[in-house]
């Protein structure tokens, strides 16, 4: 039986394109990569720090492209900077992203050119400190909507975003740094990947069986199952990858693919929970 008014959505699904979940992936990865770069620099592991700060820069470049290209009026991108609105996570996010990506680009430029090393290191530290906020603020952005699949998991969605970011940053290190210097990236990939799989289970529990269907059925469910296979394979490879360049790269590739697929699964779940009115009606039952 169709619910509501001819089964039509009560709330509108996002008018965003797939650039937005891509941004969540790239921006999350960049944030945590910068933090690990900062920590590795402090631990005098310059090789891995270099890979990670360049990874953060790549993530920021992809993010900036996605954010601007997805606007219906891209030429008005700068209108975001005409106000500061604490009630809008997107407004707050624009400033987090601007400060973060600015710091990352200065640090990465200095790393590549060797110019102004101390300024580069300073901004690398700034990026490293902002990094975790950059990685999780997007959970507030999607949580502050009326999509039941994003609105309801108040506790677990930020943890899932943090875990996916950790896994992504670790995977980047595994993929692009040599095995002899990628130890902490490997540990972060294993920790983040495991946390991601666990956080998704916790999210299902927080939602309860009816609301969790948005994550387990349809396209979102298929993506989530693929992500799970990729992530668990990636964790296993990463665990075995110590001192192995080949296994490190396989693990990195699997976890990057798993993280991206996971982001799309979460995104599609949000859309699904808007398209079928049963989720809104269930959530608002007296």
Q: Are 30 and 61 in contact (CB under 8 A)?
A: no
Residues between 225 and 264 that touch another protein (CB under 8 A): 242
Residues between 3 and 42 that touch another protein (CB under 8 A): 3-6, 8-16, 32, 35-36, 39-40, 42
Shortest Å distance, C-beta 211 to another protein: 15
Piece in contact with another protein (CB under 8 A), picked from 57-65, 181-189, 231-239, 256-264: 181-189
Looking at the Cβ atoms of 165 and 261, the one nearer to another protein is 165
What is the rounded (10 degree) CA torsion for 122, 46, 193, 162?
0
Q: Are 124 and 103 in contact (CB under 8 A)?
A: yes
Out of 165, 231, 248, 261, name the contact with another protein by CB under 8 A: 165
Helix (H/G/I), strand (E/B), else coil: 16: coil
Looking at the Cβ atoms of 191 and 226, the one nearer to another protein is 191
Asked if 133 touches another protein (CB under 8 A), the answer is: yes
Asked if 151 touches another protein (CB under 8 A), the answer is: yes
Rg (CA), the chain: 19
Looking at the Cβ atoms of 114 and 192, the one nearer to another protein is 192
Provide the CA 62 distance to its chain's centre, in angstroms.
12
Shortest Å distance, C-beta 83 to another protein: 4
Looking at the Cβ atoms of 235 and 274, the one nearer to another protein is 274
Out of 143, 168, 252, 259, name the contact with another protein by CB under 8 A: 143
Buried b (16+ CB within 10 A) or exposed e, 166-183: bbbbbbbbbbbbebebbb
Whole-number Å distance between alpha carbons of 111 and 204: 42
Q: Are 200 and 224 in contact (CB under 8 A)?
A: yes
In 3D space, the residue among 206, 212, 235, 236 whose CA is nearest the CA of residue 224 turns out to be 212
Looking at the Cβ atoms of 192 and 258, the one nearer to another protein is 192
């Amino acid at each position: 039986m169709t619910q509501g008014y001819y089964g039509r959505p009560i709330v509108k699904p996002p008018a965003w394109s797939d650039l937005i979940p891509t941004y969540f992936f790239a921006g999350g990865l960049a944030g945590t990569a910068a933090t690990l770069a900062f920590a590795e620099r402090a631990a005098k592991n310059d090789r891995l720090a270099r890979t990670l700060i360049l990874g953060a820069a790549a993530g920021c470049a992809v993010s900036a492209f996605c954010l601007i290209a997805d606007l219906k009026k891209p030429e008005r991108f700068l209108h975001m900077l005409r106000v500061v609105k604490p009630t809008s996570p997107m407004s707050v996010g624009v400033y987090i992203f601007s400060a973060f990506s600015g710091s990352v680009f200065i640090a990465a430029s200095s790393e590549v050119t060797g110019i102004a090393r101390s300024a580069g290191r300073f901004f690398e530290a700034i990026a490293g400190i902002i990094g975790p906020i950059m990685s999780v603020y997007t959970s507030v952005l999607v949580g502050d909507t009326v999509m039941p699949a994003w609105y309801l998991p108040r506790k677990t969605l930020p943890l899932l975003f943090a875990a996916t970011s950790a896994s992504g940053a670790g995977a980047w290190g595994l993929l692009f740094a040599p095995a002899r210097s990628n130890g902490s990236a490997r540990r972060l990939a294993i920790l983040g990947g495991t946390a991601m799989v666990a956080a998704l289970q916790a999210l299902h529990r927080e939602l309860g069986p009816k609301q969790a269907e948005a994550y387990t059925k349809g396209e979102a469910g298929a993506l989530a199952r693929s992500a799970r296979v990729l992530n668990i394979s990636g964790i296993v490879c990463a665990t075995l990858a110590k001192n192995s360049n080949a296994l490190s790269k396989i693990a990195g590739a699997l976890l990057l693919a798993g993280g991206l697929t996971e982001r799309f699964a979460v995104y599609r779940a949000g859309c699904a929970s808007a398209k079928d009115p049963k989720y809104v009606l269930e959530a608002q039952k007296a």
